[in-house]
Amino acid sequence: MTQTKNKNYQSLETGWIDISVPLSNGMAYWPTDPQVQIKCIHDMKDGDQDNLTHISMCAHSGTHMDAPCHFRKSAKTIDKMPLSATIGKARVIEITDKEFITVEEIRPYRIRKGERILFKTTNSRSRWDNKPFMKKFVHLSTEAATFLVERGVQTIGIDYLSIGGYNGNVIEVHNTILKAGIWVIEGINLYKILPGNYELICLPIKISGADGAPSRALLRAI
């Protein structure tokens, strides 16, 4: 049985579903980060010999990954990410709490060491990337971050721009997760993706020495 009903997703013949959000002018962005700016600097419609685009953005725009060095000194950079972190089996877990991902809600799922866990929250009620930034969005509680570290997961994904809350526990949650060497995917679009088991491919741009990078993320139902 297929695990998606969303006709707006780009679904390849092989069954892969694109869960990335498109980079675009005016998209949601973290308020202290620079906005995405995409500008055509050569345009064949204006008589230029080619089309050429200039892009200015933060490494943590749209669908992206955090490297451990994002909040940890001397930790691994995004170009050092092992491919095994984001290629392989993953589990989508649906969260019903409208504020936090809590230990109480995720404990029954018996999360195992080495798992790649993607959290589908109420952030995914509709597309969020083309709307203004939401200061209130579902994110990890501090206790849930510690719980996931204790369970030994290798990768965490979430359906908004941060695993930690805005003006809340953003630093504490990131420190807890990244200190443990867990790789983080933020800004995925799980709108109408059903909970269950999938194959995951998520590849960040290989930027030398960077704390994060825009990424393309795909799921295929198992």
Break the chain into its structural domains and give their ranges. 17-25+59-221
pTM for the model stands at: 0.92
Please list the pLDDT of the chain residue by residue as tens digits (222 residues). 445 444 445 555 679 999 999 999 999 999 999 999 999 999 999 999 999 999 999 999 999 999 999 999 889 999 999 999 999 999 999 999 999 999 999 999 999 999 999 999 999 998 899 999 999 999 999 999 999 999 999 999 999 999 999 988 999 999 999 999 999 999 999 998 999 999 999 999 999 999 999 999 999 999
Per-position DSSP letters for 115-165, written without gaps between them: -EEEEE-GGGGS--TTSPPPSS--EE-HHHHHHHHHHT-SEEEESSS-SS-
Strands (E) located in the chain: 17-18, 37-42, 52-56, 64-66, 87-94, 100-101, 116-120, 139-140, 155-158, 183-186, 196-204, 212-221
Short-list 214, 217, 194, CA closest to 205:
214
Question: Which of the listed CATH numbers 3.40.50.12780, 3.50.30.50, 3.40.50.720, 3.40.1160.10 matches domain 17-25+59-221?
Answer: 3.50.30.50
Q: Is the dihedral of CA 147, 110, 92, 114 positive or negative?
A: positive
